[in-house]
Structure 1
Amino acid sequence: MSHPIQHHDSEAVLKYLAAARRFKSQEDIATILGVNARQVRRWEARESDPPPYLSYALQQVLPLETSDPNAGKDAAFTFIDLFAGIGGIRQAFDSIGGHCVFTSEWDSYAQKTYLYNYPNNHQINGDITQIAAKDIPDHDVLLGGFPCQPFSIAGVSKKNALGREHGFNDETQGTLFFDICRIIDEKKPRAFLLENVKNLTSHDKGRTFDVIKRSLEQLGYTMSYRVIDGAHFVPQHRERILIVGFRNDLKIDFDLHALVLPPKGEHKLGDILHKTDGSEPYLPWDDNAYFDHKMKKQLDKYTLTDNLWTYLQNYAAKHKAQGNGFGFGLVTKESVTRTLSARYYKDGSEILVSQGKTKNPRRLTPRECARLMGFPDTFKIPVSDTRAYKQFGNSVVVDVMAHVANAMLPYLIEAKIMKSKRAKKAA
């Protein structure tokens, strides 16, 4: 059960505010939203516009309503978005005709960005560990970029020694992967797509991936996995493992290794950098936050200070002398970059854009980071630079996900047709 949300502009927020005022005073709502009561009065008097992201907070004031049963009825398939971040995987599955029926993301800043960008017919749920699997809507596909955690094998080893059976419950309890398993076990979706770091297969000496593979197979799924580099689609080396599974009874033979990828190196950094020749598009939602259209250049704040640039050079020289590979990554328009990380906000050292010999290099702007991750310019960035760098550094390359989603689509449609035929036959 959730609140229907169709859009998140200021008018929508005002409607939620009016509904909330039937249950709460201005002072109560101000406390919930973290503002003063005078600000709430100004919104109600339409003297100023409330931020769109307040839709989510105001939903929590209202009694729960049942979602529109007709929402997404014509969609090719339905899916849920777990550990959603800012919705990079969702973006890909939306683009092929899917309909999202449930979202879970615990970080409030990521929720804010998510709500700005995706029309929802449901609220964003927080901690997935606190949500019962039976309360999650039925769905065709489960999506999740789950955190990597080690599993304890002590209990498993003991059961093996005693000759007893064991399942995912024993091996995965206490990890976030357990929540994926219990939802799959309860809802039996047709398919899933999971994403994780490249070294998942070697994590904890291979034990982690052994448990993941065995658990998914015990739940009745045939899985295929492959490490794919984002450099096939964007000018960034970003290797991530993708795990796709289809339910055994569907008898679908899906092989990620049969997926043809475009060659690396076709995309260069210059493709995503701000254009200084006058062709940089003006984005009203950015409103010159990153690029000065009058001066035709990115803002000076992204250029490294003399102190920081000197520090990074000295740090790199020190480690080079010690035979280590640590140092900054200086790039040009013709480069393919290192992996953008969540720590990029600290000094930007992994991707520093050269500005010639007479000027210090600069960080990418948040808009350039969005492009580097495959997000379109219509994607809005409602958070600070620091938060934006973290969010894009933790995200997926949208184009990679879209490529895999398109490969899965024919099988999802086939499974839907089979289900429809079985239902008609049973009737």
Structure 2
Amino acid sequence: MLKFVDLFAGIGGIRKGLEMALDEFAIKHQCVFSSEINLKAQETYQLNYEETPQGDIRLIDSLPEHDILLAGFPCQSFSYAGKQQGFADTRGTLFFEIERLLNAATSKPRLMLLENVRGFTTHDKGRTFATVVKKLEDLGYGVTTCLLNSSNFGVPQNRVRIYLVCSLGHTPHLSIKSDLGAADSHKFKQAILQGDLFSTEVPHRCVADILEPKVDEKYVCSPKFISQLSEAITPNGFDSLHGVRLIDHRGGNSIHSWDMGKNGHCSSTEKRLMDAIISNRRKKHFGADKDGKKLTLEQIQSFWDQPDLENTLASLVSKGYLKQEDDKYNPICGNMSFEVFKFLDPSSISITVVSSDANRLGVVQDGIPRRITPRECARLQGFPDDFILHPNDTFAYHQLGNSVSVPVISALFRDLVVNGEQPFPPVMENKARPPKHQNSGQKANAQKWVGALAASPCPTN
């Protein structure tokens, strides 16, 4: 019986991945401790595992003896979407709670899997990541790291995460190697055609594969929003929205509030001028501001030679698409109020699902624009359909955006079992019959792996 603990557990995505991998090899397992501070996530965890995790890890003094430690420690401090304060931020120091608990233990787990965002590896020019690895090595662990994209593991989502596989007294061997996958949905489709994608036994999947055939009307976009979309795509149909982002401060394959007439109908000239301002305000000779700078009339004239410019600008100001301050013009970005900020391409992968926007991902199905459902969001993370979601959609979307891609976790543990490379003498104590698809070599490795992990615990000193 392998015993494991689940720290920073969320809704139990890492646990689900581990259990699915162990079940494939008929390896008996038991979660002996779990911890999660978010009360709503605790509710979802309880629905699925019939146990409520302990709360704040900082209030936990010790862990029961266990073989495997799982921890998706908080990532906000390292995320590109966050402030990237790292260890200067309280949330960034929560890794050291893992270190504290390991130092306090009478025996250490033989295996750990830690997960975090990609930005964790580059924060503070890599010093934060190096600090964590050094701490793990000081605790006696060999560390193998993988940067993996969920889209390479049968999950139709562009989600790159760092995984640290840590083995006590030994650097674990993985046949899975780092691969960032396709950078976006367009490159994913190109790679599919060219056969250049990461090679796995799991077939690549697209958004169309996870869509529910029929959804509740509450997920269909509102009549007003559909009308605004119609104005933006005329004379094209709604299928032209596949892969389109709704955003005001970027160009590219985007629809803007002025295209939709969100604050009032715009003429074709006004739309083209707004597009030109959005595109040119980011050019370096106008300044180095992240999303562009305010432009003077003279600067706008340098790329816009159409007549009646001042009246066109005044009209856009009056409608609320531009703001004029100190004789400079700046777009008023209203994209945060859009019902959908990105329509997924059914024939490709999703953008990264995040907690703040998971409820505003959309799709056009049977010619109807709608938001994806919580179940579809769960499928984008690879959760099986029997996983129970929080009954409140708001919490369900948020929790799924914070979770892990379950099949990636399963693949990592499956790889460890099949390789069976552990430095400890095997103890053949698992008599369960493995699934029929296993060959004799995989069976032997699985038993060796279990025996090694479940051997008498290693002391901390």
* TM-score range relative to shorter protein: 0.5 to 0.7
317-326 or 229-238: bigger deviation: 317-326
Q: Tell me if 1:304 matches 2:233.
A: no
Structure 2 SS opposite 1:319:
coil
SS in structure 1 of the partner of residue 112 of structure 2: strand
Query: How far apart are the structure 2 equivalents of 1:178 and 1:141?
Result: 18
Structure 1 residue identity aligned to 2:93: T
Match of 1:191 among 86, 90, 111: 111
Within 2, Cα distance between the matches of 1:236 and 1:217? 32
Aligned to 2:9: 84
Q: Which residue of 2 aligns with 1:280?
A: none
Secondary structure, in 3 states, of the residue corresponding to 1:354? strand
Is 1:388 the counterpart of 2:388 in the alignment?
Answer: no
Distance 1:265 1:108 in 2: 36
Using the alignment, how far apart are the partners of 1:355 and 1:258 within structure 2?
A: 36
Report deviation, 1:315. Answer: 5.6
Shift in Å, 1:419: 7.2
1:220 aligns with 2:140: yes
Residue 400, structure 1, aligned to residue 408, structure 2: yes
Q: Secondary structure at the match of 1:89?
A: helix
Task: Please identify, of 174-183 and 195-204, the stretch whose mean Cα deviation from structure 2 is larger.
Answer: 174-183
Once the two structures are overlaid, the 10-residue window that deviates more, 83-92 or 141-150, is 141-150
**Cα distance in structure 1, aligned partners of 2:128 and 2:32:** 29
Aligned to 2:338: none
Deviation, structure 1 residue 338: 0.6
After TM superposition, give the deviation of residue 206 of structure 1 in Å: 1.7
> 1:93 offset after TM fit, Å?
1.5
Question: What is residue 271 of structure 2 aligned with on the other side?
Answer: none
Secondary structure at 1:142's aligned position in 2?
A: strand
Which residue in the other structure is 2:200 paired with? 262
CA distance change for structure 1 residues 362 and 139 in 2, over 3 Å: closer, same or farther? same
Q: How does 1:275-286 map to 2 (within 5 A)?
A: 275=213
How far does the alpha carbon of each residue in 1:218-240 deviate from its partner, in whole angstroms, 9 at most, with x for none? 11111011111110121111111
TM-score by length of 1: 0.63
Q: Which amino acid aligns with 1:235?
A: P
Q: How many residues align?
A: 299
Q: Match of 1:340, as an amino acid?
A: V
Deviations 1:368-391 (A, max 9, x none): 111111111111123311100001
Structure 1 residues 308 and 403, CA, compared in 2 at 3 Å: closer, same or farther? same
Q: 1:80 corresponds to which letter in structure 2?
A: V
- Structure of greater Rg: 2
Unaligned runs of 5+ in 2: 78-84, 179-197, 233-244, 252-274, 283-290, 292-332, 336-340, 423-446
Structure 1 residue 264 displacement after superposition: 8.8
C-alpha contact (below 8 Å) 1:231/1:265 kept by paired residues: no
Write the mapping of 1:243-392 to structure 2, written as runs, cut at 5 A: 243-248=164-169, 251=170, 253-255=172-174, 257-258=176-177, 262=200, 266-275=204-213, 297-308=214-225, 310=228, 316=247, 318-320=249-251, 321=275, 322-323=278-279, 328-344=341-357, 348=360, 351-355=361-365, 359=368, 361-392=369-400
1:138 counterpart residue number: 65
TM-score w.r.t. the length of structure 2 is: 0.58
Of the three residues 125, 143, 147, the one matched with 2:54 is: 125
C-alpha separation between the residues in 2 aligned to 1:378 and 1:79?
A: 22
* Conserved 8 A contact 1:102-1:137: yes
Q: How does 1:9-48 map to 2 (within 5 A)?
A: none
SS at match of 2:121: helix
Determine if contact 2:67/2:454 at 8 Å carries over to the other structure: no
Choose which of 121, 127, 151 in structure 2 pairs with 1:201. Answer: 121
Q: Structure 1 residue 319: deviation in Å? A: 2.5
C-alpha displacement of 1:420: 7.2
The yes-or-no answer on 1:180 pairing with 2:90 is: no
2:408 aligned partner, one-letter code: V
**1: CA distance between counterparts of 2:455 and 2:247?**
64
Q: For structure 1, which segment, 377-386 or 259-268, has the greater mean C-alpha deviation from structure 2 after superposition?
A: 259-268
For residues 414 and 45 of structure 2, what CA distance do their matches in structure 1 show?
A: 23
Task: Return the offset for 1:214.
Answer: 0.8
Give the aligned CA root-mean-square deviation in angstroms: 3.2
Q: 1:181 is aligned with what amino acid?
A: E
Supply the distance in 2 between the matched residues of 1:89 and 1:182 (Cα, whole angstroms): 21
Residue by residue over 1:81-126, the C-alpha shift from the partner in whole angstroms, topping out at 9 and shown as x without a partner, is 0010110110111221332110001111111111111144xx5200
Q: Deviations over 1:237-276 (max 9, x none)?
A: 111110001011xx4542365488528972011211112x
Measured in 2, the distance between the counterparts of 1:272 and 1:419 equals 36
Instruction: Verify the 8 A CA contact 1:231 1:264 in the aligned structure 2.
Output: no
Which amino acid in the other structure matches residue 130 of structure 1? L
Give the deviation of 1:318 after TM superposition. Answer: 4.9
* Percent sequence identity over aligned pairs: 36
Post-superposition shift, 1:330?
Answer: 2.1
Whether the 8 Å contact between 1:85 and 1:111 is mirrored in structure 2 is: yes
1:399-425 per-residue CA deviation (whole Å, 9 max, x = no partner) reads 1110011122334753653577779xx
Secondary structure of the residue that 2:370 maps to in structure 1?
A: coil
- Tell me how far apart the structure 2 counterparts of residues 371 and 188 of structure 1 sit (CA, whole Å): 34
Please list the CA deviations of residues 53-104 of structure 1 after superposition, one character each: whole Å capped at 9, or x if unmatched: xxxxxxxxxxxxxxxxxxxxxx2x1110001011011011122133211000
Residue number in structure 2 paired with 1:281:
none
Alpha-carbon distance in structure 2 between the residues aligned to 1:139 and 1:256? 25
Distance 1:341 1:418, change over 3 A: closer
Counterpart Cα distance in 1 of 2:342 and 2:453: 51
Amino acid at match of 1:203: H
2: CA distance, partners of 1:401 / 1:139: 19
